[in-house]
Amino acid sequence: MRHYSVIYFQVLYAVMKGTNGADIEGLTLPVDEDFDPNIQLDNLGPKTVPASSIDVKLWAQTICSQLVLYLGHWPLWTGCQLSSTVCEQHDSIPSLGTELGPPVLTAPHIQVMRLSDSTLASFIELPALDLPQGGTTPGLVTSDRQVRVLLRDITGKSCWDASALYYDPSVTSAEVIEPLPLPKVVETPRDNTLSSLPPPLPPDLLPDYRNSPPDKHQLDHVLAYIGHTSPEVTCGRRLDEAGPSPLPPGLEDELVCALVAHRNAERHYLQNRDSEEDVESVDISSISGSSENVFAASSQLVSQLGTLAPARRAHAHLLKRTDRLLRELRNLDAQRCRETHKVAVIYVGKGQETRNEILSNRCGSAAYEAFLAALAWEVELESHVGFAGGLRGGGGGGTSAPYLATLTLEALFHVATRMPADTPDAILNKTRHLGNDEVHVVWSEHWRPYKRDTLPTQFCDVLIVLYPLPGGLLRCTVSRKPDVAVFGPLWEECIVRVSCCAALVRGAAFAGGRSVRATMPLYQHACSERARDLDALVATHTHATPFEHFVTRIRAPLHTHQQETDQSSGRLANALLDHGASGWSSSEPHTVSPRPVKRLGPFKRPLQPTSAPHTAPPTVPAPAPRRNR
């Protein structure tokens, strides 16, 4: 099954890139005279049907991003959480405020960059958070610093917390770590080659400092362990298997000899270093200007992810740290990255025919309540952070409502029996909420058919009515406006079981909502709007820099010297303007530097003063450095 998942991903990636996928291993194309896998759009004849408005490449990119980010990670083991509520300023020390504001631009532990043409990344270095129940690393000994990675792409925003793992779960912090014994010097380099090294570890054993041979690098052991525990990433090959050497056989032997000789020289130095004279220590803090780099763990993670590799240089760039960037990031976070639906659910009791009688129901029958329980999750509106569908906690929408979320959509059901109906104003407010929905689901226990004009509204493009029948069955009627296309899985006068009616009604409601939106000429899916805004943000705020400057900014996101120079130069220019303005009107205070009233012509010059020329302006005291709040 994992092998097929990899093939699916490779096919989607080929569609996203516009290739035919002929080089995908394990994919067999059908052999048919009428099928040509290399057909192009230019080879097709004139079309009599309008071209589809669906961007196939954009949808393939969306599905690939969802597979990478959410497959096996959603919902989380701690519950369904929304990562879109996490921003750069959260958990920061010192505090950067409650919203994404200007203090983020001057924070030395935050770097905002672009990883690709459609992916933005923010690396935030934080102290290790004391999460309940150990967080995601219970029982493990990790670093006192952690790196938070915020990814913004076409599927939304995802949050990852990374920390350096020091020991395995069986090792406690109370154990004393003994240094490894120094191996003996090998006199003949050729006597100790890769073939004479100790045997490899079992592939199911996690390598650490105690079970790894001291004469072999642990990378082979780690790759073997990854290939054994996650075979879906191996694609049928061993990760620790050495590939063909690009060097000739003779040159490869010479290179191995040189490496072994260099290792022996290092061992000789380590054995004799105690007898040599102590080298004068150098104060590192005086060179770097700071004894601690607040972005060290983040820069190490960026390097380990391959961002500094030559192959990624054309895609990875810094972003301009401006207020406009923060404003557009806030707008991007406010956008819905998933499809949203509002569905009205109405209960009709026996003998109820008027609008006030139906909307005055505070509860329904046991079968109706069981149907609502299977339809979606019940959430508290006051603490709900997802799609609310216009309902707010403490208002006229009630205290709770059924809510459903998947990787691609969010839906909230406006249930009439959940909303208050004590006063005529409450009835009117309930009518507004239900009447603005495009899809109505009615559970009717009345002996007469439900009429669409019972609840007068210009919406209600799709109406699904459920009539309970004996024997655990339901009779469904589906009506739609003439311009709405046919949808499923329910159809007119179909009979379904009560046990599966919730899933069928839910799917029919979402399909009906999509059919209604397909009739709107200017409607765009959430991924299309987000892709357009991402392209505009990347094109506007990409900061193209040389590789040296890029590496420097990865190590230290904020240039303190450059920032102080820019701020001091701006303040000095303002001070000079104000000092010159004081010569024009020194008796009256002013907030804006005044200018001469009469404008001089192009060939006229102001009269030279007869008095002695003014001396240089007094020295302006340097402003105190700005402290982040």
What pairs with residue 497 in β-bridges?
A: 473
Nearest to 295 by CA among 550, 124, 95: 124
Question: In the chain, what are the domain boundaries?
Answer: 1-71, 339-519
**Taking the C-alpha atoms of 327, 331, 333 and 338 in order, what is their torsion angle to the nearest 10 degrees?**
-160
596, pLDDT greater than 80: no
The pLDDT of residue 568: 47
**CA-based radius of gyration for the chain:** 34
What CA–CA distance (Å, rounded) separates 131 from 141? 14
pTM of the model: 0.64
Q: Which stretches within 404-520 are classed as H helix? A: 424-435, 498-518
Three-point CA angle 222, 227, 230, nearest 5°: 115
CA distances from 534 to 121, 122, 319, 530 (A): 12, 15, 13, 6
The pLDDT of residue 132: 56
- How many helices (DSSP H) and strands (DSSP E) are in the chain? 14, 14
pLDDT band at 65; cut points 50, 70, 90:
confident
Query: Of 72-76, 211-215, 375-379, 582-586, which has the strongest mean pLDDT?
Result: 375-379
What CA–CA distance (Å, rounded) separates 143 from 150? 20
What pairs with residue 148 in β-bridges?
A: 124, 161
Secondary structure E strands in 445-499 = 462-469, 473-480, 494-497
42, pLDDT greater than 60: no
Percent of residues in the chain assigned helix, strand, coil, to nearest 5: 35, 15, 50
292, pLDDT greater than 90: no
Question: Hey, what are 367's tokens?
Answer: 């079968």
pLDDT band at 302; cut points 50, 70, 90:
very high
The pLDDT of residue 37: 56
| Pairing of β 110-116 and β 317-319 | antiparallel
The pLDDT of residue 71: 72
Average pLDDT of the segment spanning 443-469? 91
Average pLDDT of the segment spanning 414-442? 90
The total of other beta-carbon atoms located within 10 Å of residue 137's CB is: 15
CA distances from 284 to 80, 125, 295, 354 (A): 46, 22, 16, 83
566, pLDDT greater than 90: no
The answer to whether residues 397 and 433 touch, using CB atoms and an 8 Å cutoff, is yes
The pLDDT of residue 575: 47
What CA–CA distance (Å, rounded) separates 466 from 459? 20
Helix (H, G, I), strand (E, B) or coil at 17: helix
Q: In what order do the strands lie in the sheet with 494-497?
A: 377-380, 400-405, 409-415, 339-348, 439-444, 462-469, 473-480, 494-497
The answer to whether residues 155 and 118 touch, using CB atoms and an 8 Å cutoff, is no
The answer to whether residues 437 and 342 touch, using CB atoms and an 8 Å cutoff, is yes
pLDDT band at 392; cut points 50, 70, 90:
confident
Residue carrying the six token digits 């805004």: 533
Query: Of 14-28, 136-150, 160-174, 344-358, which has the strongest mean pLDDT?
Result: 344-358
Nearest to 122 by CA among 155, 100, 137, 144: 100
Secondary structure E strands in 349-472 = 377-380, 400-405, 409-415, 439-444, 462-469
* Domain covering 339-519 in this structure, CATH number: 3.40.50.11210
The pLDDT of residue 265: 84
What pairs with residue 341 in β-bridges?
A: 411
What CA–CA distance (Å, rounded) separates 30 from 27? 10
Chain mean pLDDT for the chain: 76
Nearest to 141 by CA among 103, 96, 173, 178: 173
Helix (H, G, I), strand (E, B) or coil at 127: strand
The answer to whether residues 118 and 64 touch, using CB atoms and an 8 Å cutoff, is no
| 114 vs 13, residue with greater confidence | 114
pLDDT band at 598; cut points 50, 70, 90:
very low
Length of the chain: 629
What CA–CA distance (Å, rounded) separates 472 from 495? 10
What CA–CA distance (Å, rounded) separates 311 from 212? 32
Per DSSP, the residues of 295-338 read THHHHHHHHHTTTTSGGGTTT-EEE---HHHHHHHHHHHHS--S
Q: At a CB cut-off of 8 Å and minimum separation 6, what does 335 contact?
A: 526, 529, 530, 533
Sign, CA torsion 441/444/447/451 = negative
Encode pLDDT of 124-182 as tens digits.
999 887 765 555 566 667 788 889 999 999 888 888 888 887 765 555 545 565 665 65
CA distances from 484 to 438, 490, 507 (A): 11, 15, 16
Question: Hey, what are 52's tokens?
Answer: 């589809």
615, pLDDT greater than 50: no
Average pLDDT of the segment spanning 438-464? 91
